[in-house]
């Protein structure tokens, strides 16, 4: 195509006018159409037909509806929900995620939960609701301090790296496990000044195959891996039994990575001191789930990534990739369909 040929962009996500103006300033070739939609049929056929770039959350057309589509940008970092969509098999289609855009808020959530669990806040709130001042408070609320503890991060991607950065001032020992230990650098999108782009902040990096060896040393375990065929039920009963007795677990990855039945046993038997759980295999978590009633568990309804700044950060990443697309250089956060992330 010529350098003056327009690039038709369809986004099913509404952006603020100020954000859209900044995106339009990248190049006069960019022609944006904003069409809020929840289903593919909400988009007219002629609009699908001319779209070259699609920015969307879950609205995925059939491949024959989008003959000119060259690039699909998801509004999320985790796209396990869409892996079976026929569109993803369209030949020549580049697919990118928003990995890295939700890093600040999720890392803050993890730090908050580590402090809350270590300082016994679930039990504190139980006694507050009872209007009780326990006589054994010195023993009951004795904290597990972050300083001097060992933290294991399962999945050293963009989120794990920012967690490590935030933990550095606390004087913790940071252990991390990732699939490819030969390449500790982060090749995806990184917000300037955040994360660990060069792989400098962990004390030791473990391959996933040695996960149990790492977990034996950890006072806090953070699960932040995507859900793929390799990671489904990766944290099973055997792995949970390997975790150091009395450790805390924080799960902000995807529901399905941890075997929930095995996790329930570990919590009820007090092999784990407690957990903060933001994701579940079944969402919403049913009212009948026993997790709701565990006194050593903090449950949140999959909100760790919520932020008033998410769309602004998403637009920053999209802008970076738009410039790369125009220049013909590799896009950031390309989805590897074989590895499913």
The full DSSP string for 273-318 is EEEEE---SSSSPPTT-GGGG-TTEEE--S-TT--TTHHHHHHHHH
Q: Round to whole Å and give the CA distance between 87 and 214.
A: 39
186 and 318 co-located in one domain:
no
Q: What is the pLDDT of residues 193-222, one digit of tens each?
A: 999 999 999 999 999 999 999 999 999 999
CB 234 within 8 A of CB 155: no
Is 2 contained in some domain?
no
Is 178 contained in some domain?
yes
Is 170 contained in some domain?
yes
Is 338 contained in some domain?
no
Is 218 contained in some domain?
yes
CATH number at residue 14: 3.40.50.720
CB 103 within 8 A of CB 77: no
Is 341 contained in some domain?
no
Q: Count of domains in the chain?
A: 2
216 and 111 co-located in one domain:
yes
Residue 229 CA, distance from chain mean position: 17
What are the average pLDDT values for consecutive 10-residue runs of the chain, which has 341 residues?
83 95 97 96 97 98 98 96 96 97 97 98 96 97 97 97 98 96 92 96 97 98 96 97 97 97 97 98 97 97 97 97 97 95 92
Which has the closest alpha carbon to 304: 234, 232, 260, 253?
253
Sheet harboring 150-154: ordered strands across? 204-207, 173-178, 150-154, 220-223, 247-251, 272-277, 297-299
Is 50 contained in some domain?
yes
Tokens standing for residue 115: 């402090």
224 and 256 co-located in one domain:
yes
Is 224 contained in some domain?
yes
33 and 146 co-located in one domain:
no
222 and 313 co-located in one domain:
no
87 and 227 co-located in one domain:
no
Domain that holds residue 113: 103-299
Extended strands (E) in 67-162: 71-74, 94-96, 150-154
Q: In 216-227, which positions are buried (b, 16+ CB within 10 angstroms) versus exposed (e)?
A: ebbbbbbbbbbb
Residue 161 CA, distance from chain mean position: 12
Taking the model in full, what pTM does it have?
0.94
23 and 62 co-located in one domain:
yes
Residue 4: per-residue pLDDT: 83
Q: What is the pLDDT of residues 238-282, one digit of tens each?
A: 999 999 999 999 999 999 999 999 999 999 999 999 999 999 999
Q: In 260-277, which positions are buried (b, 16+ CB within 10 angstroms) versus exposed (e)?
A: bebbbebbeeeebbbbbb
Tokens standing for residue 94: 């580049």
47 and 14 co-located in one domain:
yes
CB 167 within 8 A of CB 146: yes
Q: What is the pLDDT of residues 55-78, one digit of tens each?
A: 999 999 999 999 999 999 999 999
Percent of the chain with pLDDT over 70: 99
262 and 313 co-located in one domain:
no
288 and 158 co-located in one domain:
yes
Domain end: 282, 299, 316, which one?
Answer: 299
Tokens standing for residue 268: 């009820």
109 and 93 co-located in one domain:
no
Residue 1: per-residue pLDDT: 43
Secondary structure percentages of the chain, helix, strand, coil, to 5: 35, 15, 50
84 and 160 co-located in one domain:
no
Tell me the sheet residues that pair with 250.
222, 276
């Amino acid at each position: 195509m010529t350098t003056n040929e327009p690039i038709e962009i369809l986004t099913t996500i509404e952006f603020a006018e100020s954000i859209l103006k900044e995106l339009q300033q990248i190049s006069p070739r960019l022609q944006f159409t904003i069409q809020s939609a929840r289903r593919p049929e909400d988009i007219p056929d002629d609009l699908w037909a001319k779209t070259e770039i699609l920015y969307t959350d879950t609205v995925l057309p059939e491949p024959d509806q989008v003959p000119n589509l060259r690039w699909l940008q998801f509004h999320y970092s985790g796209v396990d929900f869409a892996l079976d969509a026929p569109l993803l098999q369209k030949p020549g289609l580049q697919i990118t995620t928003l990995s890295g855009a939700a890093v600040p808020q999720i890392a803050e959530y993890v730090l908050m939960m580590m402090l809350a669990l270590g300082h016994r806040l679930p039990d504190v709130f139980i006694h507050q609701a009872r209007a009780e001042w326990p006589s054994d408070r010195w023993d009951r609320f004795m904290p597990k301090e972050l300083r001097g503890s060992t933290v294991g991060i399962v999945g050293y991607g963009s989120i794990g790296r920012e967690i490590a950065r935030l933990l550095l001032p606390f004087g913790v020992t940071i252990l991390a496990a990732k699939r490819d230990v030969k390449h500790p650098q982060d090749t995806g999108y990184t917000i300037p000044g955040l994360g660990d782009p060069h792989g400098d902040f962990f004390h030791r990096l473990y391959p996933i195959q040695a996960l149990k060896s790492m977990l034996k040393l950890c006072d806090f375990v953070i699960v932040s891996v995507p859900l793929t065929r390799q990671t489904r039920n990766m944290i099973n009963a055997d792995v949970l039994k390997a975790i150091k007795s009395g450790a805390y677990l924080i799960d902000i990855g995807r529901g399905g990575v941890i075997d929930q039945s095995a996790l329930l046993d570990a919590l009820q038997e007090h092999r784990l001191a407690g957990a903060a759980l933001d994701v579940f295999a079944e969402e919403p978590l049913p009212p009948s789930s026993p997790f709701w009633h565990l006194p050593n568990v903090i449950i949140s309804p999959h909100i760790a990534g919520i932020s008033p700044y998410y769309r602004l950060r998403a637009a920053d990443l999209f802008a970076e990739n738009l410039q790369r697309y125009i220049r013909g250089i590799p896009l950031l956060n390309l989805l590897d369909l074989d590895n499913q992330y």
